[in-house]
Structure 1
Amino acid sequence: MAMSMATGAMGSLLPKLVELLKDEYKLKESIKEGVRSLEQEMKSMQAALRKVGEVPRDQLDEQVKIWAAEVRELSFKMEDIVDKFLVRVDDGFEPAANPKKLKRLTKKMVGLFTKGKARHEIADAIKSINKKVQEVADRRARYNVDNIVPRPSAVTPIDPRLGALYKEVTDLVGITGTRDQEIMKLLSEGDDTSKKKLKIISVVGFGGLGKTTLVKMVYDKIKGDFDCAAFVPVGRNADVKKIIMDILLDLGLYESQLAMLDERQLINKLQKGLEKKRYLIVIDDLWDENLWKIISWAFSNGNNGSRLITTTRIVRVAKLCCSSINESIYQMEPLSDDDSKRLFYNRIFSHESGCPHEFEQVSRDILKKCGGVPLAIITIASVLASDQKVNSHDEWKALLEAIGHGLTKDPSMEEMLRILSFSYYDLPCHLKTCLLYLSMFPEDSKILKDQLVWMWIAECFIPCEIAQSSLFQIGENYFNELVNRSLLQPLYDDFGTLHACRVHDSVLDLICLLSREENFVSVFNGSMSSQGNVRRLSLQKIIKEGYHTTPLESMSMLQVRSIATFEPAISLLSRLSSFVVLRVLNLSTCALGDHNLRGLWSLVHLRYLDLSHTGLCELSEEVGKLRFLEVLDVSGNHGIEKLPSSVTKLRRLMCLLYEQSCNRLPGGIGNMTAMEELSYIHVDSLRIVKEMGNMKRLRKFEIEFEHMSLELQEAFVKSLGEMSNVQSITISMDGRCKIMDLLGEKWVPPQGLQALKSNWNKACRFSRLPAWIRENPLQMSQLSWLQIDLKEVQQGDLGLLGRLPALHHLDLESLRQGPLLVEADGFRCVTQFALWSDSPGQVVIQPGALPKAEQVTLYTGLPVAKEEAAGGNGGELFDTGIVNLPSLQWVDVVFCTSLLQRQEAKKASSALKTTLRAHPNNPFYRVSVEDISSDDGWWE
C-alpha cells in the first residue's frame, strides 16, 4: 500500500516558518537566516516525501521508510516548537475599562520579559533543529531518496476486475431479478420513438457493490440485439489511445497500423466504424472526467438506437456522462438483508439453509458489518470456509471483532482492501489526510458534517494559502468530494439536507490499516496499545475488562495533539494539564457534570473544544485564557444560562455553539471578528445589533428580537449588509409577528445566500415578496431553503418563487392567499413544498410542476370540480392536481372552508383520498377539513 500520510505536519509548518520572519516578532537577523534555511530544506523534504508517497509501501526500501517516518516526526516537533513561541509572544492585550497606570506598566514589563525569554529559547531551538535537519538531509542523499523508483514486483498483480467479468450466472445473488430488470428498463426507454437517439446510462456506486458484474450480465443478455458490441475495462491512470484501440478490437475493427495513429485519428476511425450502426458499448470503471470528454467525441448522437453504459465510483463522473435529458444515472445500492444472507450462506455452506444454529447470531453480526457489499460478503465467506472446511465458532467471533479496525491479515481480506484502496490512491494528498482522520471515530458512528469539518480546520488540514475563502466552506467541499467519490456514506436529515456521514466497515478497515502504518491515529479500544509517539488519540474503550488502569497512565502526554472520547472519560480530567500541545479536545457526551475542569484552561494551544451534552451548568470565566480557540461547542447543556464575559476575548473564535437557554450575550461580541457561526442571538438592545456589523465573516446564525422598532430594523439591515459571506439566517420574534419590510426592500443579500427562515408563530412578516426575489429570482442562484411569512400571496408571487433555480424547500405562510396555480414549469428542484394560510383560496397543481416534490402541505380553499371547470354541472370529482406529482411520498392537505360549505368540503376530502390511494408511490397522507369562519374551527 502507498505511504498514506506522506508529509506529516509540513502543510501547516511551512506557513508558520514564513510567519516567524515578520518584523513583529523581532528576531535577530542571524536567527531569521536560520529560519529561512529551515524553510528551504523542509520544502525540499516535503517534495521528496510526496515522491515517496506515490510508491507502493511494499516496494519501498526499509531505509527509505525509516527516513520518511523520521522527517514526518521532525516536522511535528518543529511545529510544536514554533507554536509554543507564537503562543508565548501573543500578549492577548485587552484594554480594561479603568486600568490603573501601575498595573498597566507591570503587565507591560512582564510581557516584555516573557517575549524576550521566548525569543532566546526559539533561537536556541532553531539552532538545534537545524543540526537535526542537516543530519536527516545527509541520510536522504545517502539513501538516494530523490531518485527512488518502485522495486519490480516479483509477481505481476492480477486485475481484480477479471473475476467480475467471468462470473457464472449461477454464482450471482441479488443481480438477477430486480437490478438487471431496472437497467434493461432504462436501456429500453426511447425505443418506441420514431427517432431512436443514443442512450447513455451510468452505473455509480461504492467499490465492491458489483457494478461490473451487473453490467457484464446485462451486456451478455442484450448484445445480440445490436450490430456490434464492446466491453472495455478502463481503471485509474488509463491511456486514451489504449481505450479506443481496445474498443476497436472488441468491435472487430482492429488493424495493425492503428498503433501508428494519434488520438484524433483513432477517434475518427472509431466514428467511421460506428457510422449507421446500432452499437452497444460498455466503458467499465471510469475515473477521469477529462478522459470521458475525449472518448465521448467518438460516439455521435445518431438515430440508430445505440446504447452506451459506463460504470464509476465517482458521482461527478456519472453526472458528466449523463448530462442530457436522454440519459440516466443508476445508483447502485447494497444487497438486501435476504440477498446478503443467501450469498453468504451459499459460499460457506453450499446452500442457503445450511447454517448451524450456533452460527446464526454471529452470522447476522458479520453481515451487518458487511453492509450489503458483495465484495465484503464474498471475501469474508472465503476466509471462514478456507480449505473446504468451516472454521470454528471462536474463529468467526475473532474475525467479527477484527472487521472495522484494520486488523484482518488473511490474503483474501488483503485483496479486498487492495481493490478498495484504488479509491484512496486516486485522492489528492489533502483528501487522503482528511479521510484518514475518520479513523478517530468508532465503527458505525454517525459523524456530523459540521463537527468533522471544524476538527479538520483545527488540525490545519485545510491549506492556509487558499484561506481567502472561508475555511469552513473549503472543508465542506472536501467533505462533499469524499461523498462524491463513494468513500463516505451520506446521511440526510428530515428536510433532505446532507448533515452527517458514516464510514462503511470495509473502508474503515482500510483507513485504520493505513492510519496505523503511519502512526496517524492511535485507537484505544480495550485491546490495543500505542506504538511510537501518540499524536492523535481516540479513546473508544478506555478500561480493558479485567484491568484497573487506563492506557493514559503509561503514556507520554507531551506530544498529543488531539483527543476524542467516545465513552465516559472522567479519569482523563485529572491529567488534562499534561497535554501541553493539545489542539483538539472532544469530550462530547461525557458526563462531566460538576467535575473540576481547572486543568482545561491551561491548554493554551487548543483550537477546538467540544463540551456538548456533558451536563455542564456553567462555563468558567477562565475560558478566556484559550486565546487560540477557534471552535467552542457547549450545546446540549441547558443548565448554562449565560456566557462568561471573557468569551469576547476569543478573537480567533470562528464557531460558538450553545443552547437558547443561554439567552444573553455579553457586551463586546463585536470583538469576535473571526466569527462564522453563532448559535443564537437574543436582541434586547440596539447595541447588540450594531455590534453584529463587526462580525463581517458570519455565515450562519439565528436571531430573536425581544421587540421591534424602525431603528432596530435599520441597524439590523445595516449590519447584515456588512456580512458578505452570510449563507443561513433564522429570524424570530419574542412575541407576536412583526412587519420587517426594510429587510425585504433595503437589504441586498449576497448571491451565496442559501437559507432564510422565519420561525412559525414567532415570525417576522413581509408585506410583499422581498425585492431581491421580485426583481430577479435567477440571481439568487444558491437559495435552497425559503421559509417566510407574507401578508398576502398572489399568483405572481408563486410564479417568481417557482423560478428560484436552487430552491429545494419552500414554506410560505400568509394571512390571505388568492387562488393559486402551480404552473407546469415551476419549482423544478423543490422536494418539500408547503403553503399555509389563515384564509386560502383554491390551489391547483398543473401536470409537470413540482417533479421532485416528496412532501407537500397545502392549506387550500375548495378546488374547482373537473366538470365545473369544463363548463359542466357535476360536483363529485375534485382536482387539486396532487395526483400528478411523480415523486410524492407524504401529503398533508387541509380544506379550509365555511360551515355552509361543509358538505362540499367533505366531498373534496373524500375525492382526494381516493386519488391518493391510487397513487403508484402509495404516499402517506392526511386530508382534513377546517372551518375558518369559527375561532375554534372543526376538523374531520
Structure 2
Amino acid sequence: MTSRLRSKSLKLASWRKASAVTGTRYKLDESYYSATRTVEIDPRMTAIHEEVKGLVAMDGPMKHVIALLMDESKELKVVPIVGSGGLGKTTLAMEVYRKLGSGGDFQCQACVSVSRTLDLVKLLKDILSQINKDAYKECQSWEKEQLIREIKHILTGKRYFIVIDDVWKEQDWKLVKTAFPENNNGSRIIATTRITGVANLCCSVSDEQTYQMAPLDDVDSRRLFFKRIFSSVDSCPSELEEVSARILKKCGGLPLAIITFACLLASKTHNKDEWERLQDSIGTGSSFDKDGNLKGMKDILLHSYLDLPHHLKTCLLYLCLYPEDSMIDIKLLKWKWIAEGFIATQWGSLDQVAQNCFNELVNRNMIQPVYGNYDSSVRYCRVHDMVLDLIISLSDEENFATVLNGRICNFFPNKIRRLSMQSSGKEHKGAVGAITETKIHIRSLTVFESDKPIVPHFVDFHALRVLDLFGCDSLENKHVKHIGSSRQLRYLRISSYKITELPSGIGKLQHLETLDLRECYSLHRLPSTVAQLQKLVRLFVSGYTQLPAGGFRSLQALEELRFEETDDPVRFAEELNELGKCNLRTGGETAKRLFCNPCSTYPCLQVLKIQSAIGMVPRGMASLENLMKLCIKVTEFDKEDLQVLMGMPSLAHLELEITREAINGKLIIGSDGFKLLKVFHFRYSLFRHPVEVKPTGGLRLTFAPGAMPALRCLCLHLNPMFVASDFCEDLGVEHLPGLAQLEVEITCFKAVPRRVKALECSIEKATSLLPKCRIRVSRAFEGHMFKDDKEWEEVVAKVSRAKKGDQKNERVITKN
C-alpha cells in the first residue's frame, strides 16, 4: 500500500473512531450552526455553473458538433462525444440539444441517460414519455419488445433528434440503438461516453466522426479556479500563484476537478502551507485510469468529503440511495433527512436547518443544483456519477446502505440498515428473505423500480423510519395491512393503483410526519384514524381521494395539505380555521366553497395553490390577511378580481393564470396594493384555439408609478395572438425600481411569425429601460408556429367553413 493510500485509510479510520466515541457520526455537528445562521447557495456557485457552460459549450465546440450533425445527408447520423469523466460531455450535448431542439427542425425529440447499469425498460419508457405522451400512458405494463416496436412505429417517417447520455458498454449501445429506425428523413442522435470503443461503435458508417472533448486550457482553468475562490481572476495573492499552478496541473483541465478543489479551498483560509498540504495529497499528475477518469479526481473528491462536518457527511451518504443520473426532489430529500434524524431541532426550524445542509453541499460542489426555467428557485438536484461512485464505496465500507441496482449481489449484510431497490427483482431473488431476516434493523426502504418489484409484507419493522414505495405500482392492500406495527415510521409514500384502502391501524403511527398518497388513484377514502396522527406535518392525497372533514382540528402539527375533495366542505372550513399555520393545495370547486364567505379569515393559511381553474377570484379571499403565496387559475378576470388580489396585505408570491376568457382591454396595477409582493408570474394561456381569434387588439398590462415596490422577479408567459403586439411598450417596467429578474416566454403555438416578432420588439424596447435587470426572453412551441400570414389565413378560413357547416347541420336537425 502506498503512503498516500495508507494516509487516506488512516483518515477514514480516525473519523470512524472519533465518531463512535462521541456518538456524532450521523448527528448534527452542534458547533457548526447557530440558531440564527442561514446558509445560502453561494452566488459564485450559480455564476460558476454558467461559466462552465460557456467554456465547454462555447462557440467552437458547439459549432463543431452542430456541423457534424447538420450536414446535408438524409440518412440517420450518430455523433458520439467522447471524453473523460468530469470533462463536460453532458453539458455540451445538452447545450447542442437545446439549440437545435428549439429551432423546429425535428418532429420528435428526447434526451435520456443510460448510466453504468442499463435498465432498458425504464430507458425506453423515458424516451416514449418525451416523444408521445399518450402512448406513454398506455405503456406501463409493457415489456421491452413492445416498447421498441412502439417507439419505432412513432419515429418511422419522422425526423427525430435523440441524445443518449453516458453510454458505458458496447452491448448497451447495441440494445438501445434497436429502438431507432434507419429512416431517410435527416434524423440525428448524439451519444456521450468515456469509452473510445463505444464511441467508435456508435458511428453508423465508417466515414462518420467522433467528437473528442478537449480539457480546458491553462487560461480557462485559471479563470474557473480563481472565480470560485476569489470571485475574480485577478484577485489571487501572489504567494498563492505557484501552488495554484501545480494544483491546476493535477486537475488536468477537468471542470469538475477544478471546481471541487476550488470549493474545498474557498472554505478555508488562504494560507500557502494549507494549500501546499492539500496539493501534495492528490497524486502526482494528470494521468487517467482505464475508465477514462482522472486518477487524482478520486483524491480530490475524497478530501472534499473528509472535510465535511459529520452531519453533512451523513446527508451526502444518503444520496447513494438514488439511482445514477436521478433528478432528486429537494423537498422530499429534506423530509427524509429529517425523518432519519440527521437534522437536530436545537438550532431552529428543522426545514431551515435541512435547507442549510443542502446549500452547504451545493457550495462544496458535492451535489449539483438544477435551477428552474423561469426563476432562480432550485427544486431538484443531481449527483455527478463520480461523486456517486465515491459515496457508494464509503457507504459499503460503513454498511450505511445496501443498494440493489442490477449488478450481481452475492450476499446481503447481516444488518441491512437502509435498502434501495433500483431494478427489477430478477437479480435479487433473496432480497425479501434478507429484508425479513434483518427487518428489526432496517431504518429506510426505498423502491425506485416499478417493473414487478419484490417487496415484503410490512409487519413489525420496528426501526423503520422511511418507507418510500413510489416506484412500486404492483403494491396491494395486503402489503400494507399491518403498516401500523412500524411505530417509528416518520415518512410514508405509496404509489399504486391497486391500493384501494388503508388499514385503520395507520392511526398507530404516532411519529408519522409525511403521508404522501398522491399516486394512489384507486384510494377513494382515508380511514378516520388519520385524525389520530398527532405529529403529521404533511398530508397529500390524489384528486380521487375524498378527505374526511371531521377531526382535522386535532392535527395541530399539520403544515401542508393537498387534496381535491372533502365529504363535508362546511365542516372542513370550520376545522381549517382552528389549525395552526398551513399550506393548502386544493381544487377549484373546493376553493370556491372555502372562500365564498368573506368572514372566513383562515388565519392559518400562508400558502394556497388552486390546482384546477375556477371562474373568477373568490371574493372571500380578500380576508386572507396572512396569505404569503398564492397560485391561482381563473377562467375570467377583470378589475374587480385584481382588486381582491391587491387587497391581500401579506402576499409576497403570486402566480396568476388566465385560461379561457379573452381580455381586450387594459389591466392597470396601481400603488394601492401588492406592497410586499416579490415574485409575480403572469400566464395568459387561453384554452381557445388561436386560429379562432382575429389577431387585433388584445390584453394590455400596465404597472403604474409606485406599483409593486418590493417586486424582484417578474415572469410573463404570453401568446402573441391574444395580447397586444406592443404589449411590453406600455408595460411600465421602469416603474419597478427593485426588479432584478425579468423572464418572458412567448408561446408560439399556432401563432403568426409577424405577431411573434412584433411582441419581441416591444419587449426589447421595454427592457432597454432596465440596464441592471437580468433579462431572459424565450420561445416555446416554435416548431408549431405558422410559416406566414398566408398559411394562418388559410387555416382560419378552413375552420370558419367547418363551423358554418356544423351550424347548417344543426339547423337542419332542429327543423326536422
Structure 1 length as normaliser, TM-score? Answer: 0.49
**In 1, are the aligned partners of 2:671 and 2:704 still within 8 Å (CA)?**
yes
Partner-residue secondary structure (3-state), 1:585: strand
- Aligned match of 1:904: none
- Aligned match of 2:571: 687
**In 2, are the aligned partners of 1:609 and 1:632 still within 8 Å (CA)?**
yes
- The structural deviation recorded for 1:174 is 6.0
- The structural deviation recorded for 1:475 is 2.9
CA RMSD, 1 decimal? 6.0
- Aligned match of 1:855: 745
Q: What is the distance in 2 between the residues matched to 1:858 and 1:231?
A: 37
Structure 1 residues not aligned, in runs of 5+: 2-54, 80-172, 183-205, 221-228, 252-281, 296-374, 386-411, 866-876, 894-907, 915-924
Residue number among 372, 376, 397 corresponding to 1:517 in the alignment: 397
Post-superposition Cα deviations, 1:17-75, rounded to whole Å, max 9, x if no partner, equal xxxxxxxxxxxxxxxxxxxxxxxxxxxxxxxxxxxxxx97523596x577447548899
- Aligned match of 1:582: 464
- Aligned match of 2:779: 890
- Aligned match of 1:116: none
Q: Cα–Cα, structure 1 residues 72 and 930, in superposed 2: closer, same or farther, change >3 Å? A: farther
- Aligned match of 2:358: 479
- The structural deviation recorded for 1:515 is 1.7
- Aligned match of 2:313: 432
**In 2, are the aligned partners of 1:613 and 1:635 still within 8 Å (CA)?**
no
Residue 767 (str. 1) matches residue 678 (str. 2): no
- The structural deviation recorded for 1:505 is 1.1
Give the letter for the 2:237 counterpart: I
Give the letter for the 2:482 counterpart: G
- Aligned match of 2:416: 534
Q: What is the distance in 2 between the residues matched to 1:785 and 1:712?
A: 21
- The structural deviation recorded for 1:577 is 2.0
- The structural deviation recorded for 1:449 is 2.4
Residue 561 (str. 1) matches residue 443 (str. 2): yes
Q: What is the distance in 2 between the residues matched to 1:638 and 1:70?
A: 45
Residue 383 (str. 1) matches residue 383 (str. 2): no
Residue number among 2, 6, 9 corresponding to 1:58 in the alignment: 9
- The structural deviation recorded for 1:934 is 13
**Structural mapping, 1:776-787, within 5 Å:** 782-783=652-653, 785-787=655-657
- Aligned match of 2:668: 796
Post-superposition Cα deviations, 1:890-922, rounded to whole Å, max 9, x if no partner, equal 2589xxxxxxxxxxxxxx9988899xxxxxxxx
Post-superposition Cα deviations, 1:626-683, rounded to whole Å, max 9, x if no partner, equal 1211111122121111111111111111111111111343411121111122111536
- Aligned match of 1:758: 632
**In 1, are the aligned partners of 2:432 and 2:455 still within 8 Å (CA)?**
no
- Aligned match of 2:615: 737
Q: Cα–Cα, structure 1 residues 70 and 858, in superposed 2: closer, same or farther, change >3 Å? A: closer
**In 2, are the aligned partners of 1:822 and 1:844 still within 8 Å (CA)?**
no
Q: What is the distance in 1 between the residues matched to 2:795 and 2:555?
A: 50
**Structural mapping, 1:13-28, within 5 Å:** none
Q: What is the distance in 2 between the residues matched to 1:427 and 1:801?
A: 46
Q: Cα–Cα, structure 1 residues 625 and 510, in superposed 2: closer, same or farther, change >3 Å? A: same
Q: Cα–Cα, structure 1 residues 419 and 614, in superposed 2: closer, same or farther, change >3 Å? A: farther
Equivalent residue pairs, number:
569
Q: What is the distance in 1 between the residues matched to 2:719 and 2:431?
A: 60
Post-superposition Cα deviations, 1:834-876, rounded to whole Å, max 9, x if no partner, equal 3799x976643239969853522599999999xxxxxxxxxxx
Q: Cα–Cα, structure 1 residues 291 and 929, in superposed 2: closer, same or farther, change >3 Å? A: farther
Q: What is the distance in 2 between the residues matched to 1:235 and 1:58?
A: 29
Q: What is the distance in 1 between the residues matched to 2:441 and 2:359?
A: 31
Q: Cα–Cα, structure 1 residues 176 and 450, in superposed 2: closer, same or farther, change >3 Å? A: closer
- The structural deviation recorded for 1:697 is 2.7
**In 2, are the aligned partners of 1:233 and 1:285 still within 8 Å (CA)?**
no
- The structural deviation recorded for 1:809 is 2.7
Give the letter for the 1:519 counterpart: N
Q: What is the distance in 1 between the residues matched to 2:229 and 2:730?
A: 44
- Aligned match of 1:621: 504
Give the letter for the 1:757 counterpart: C
Post-superposition Cα deviations, 1:725-759, rounded to whole Å, max 9, x if no partner, equal x23422657xx72552342x433345xx34x2223
Structure 2 residues not aligned, in runs of 5+: 29-54, 65-84, 92-213, 245-257, 272-282, 689-696, 734-738, 768-774, 806-816
Q: What is the distance in 1 between the residues matched to 2:570 and 2:585?
A: 18
Partner-residue secondary structure (3-state), 1:482: helix
Q: What is the distance in 2 between the residues matched to 1:803 and 1:74?
A: 46
Q: What is the distance in 2 between the residues matched to 1:678 and 1:852?
A: 31
Give the letter for the 2:466 counterpart: V
Give the letter for the 1:759 counterpart: K
Q: What is the distance in 1 between the residues matched to 2:728 and 2:752?
A: 14
Partner-residue secondary structure (3-state), 1:796: strand
Q: What is the distance in 1 between the residues matched to 2:426 and 2:647?
A: 64
Give the letter for the 1:783 counterpart: H
Give the letter for the 2:683 counterpart: D
**In 2, are the aligned partners of 1:813 and 1:835 still within 8 Å (CA)?**
yes
Post-superposition Cα deviations, 1:596-651, rounded to whole Å, max 9, x if no partner, equal 43332211111111112353112222211212111111221211111111111111
**In 2, are the aligned partners of 1:524 and 1:542 still within 8 Å (CA)?**
no
Structure 2 length as normaliser, TM-score? Answer: 0.56
- The structural deviation recorded for 1:478 is 3.5
Q: What is the distance in 1 between the residues matched to 2:610 and 2:495?
A: 22
- Aligned match of 1:634: 517
Partner-residue secondary structure (3-state), 2:289: helix
Identity of aligned residues (%): 24
- The structural deviation recorded for 1:479 is 3.4
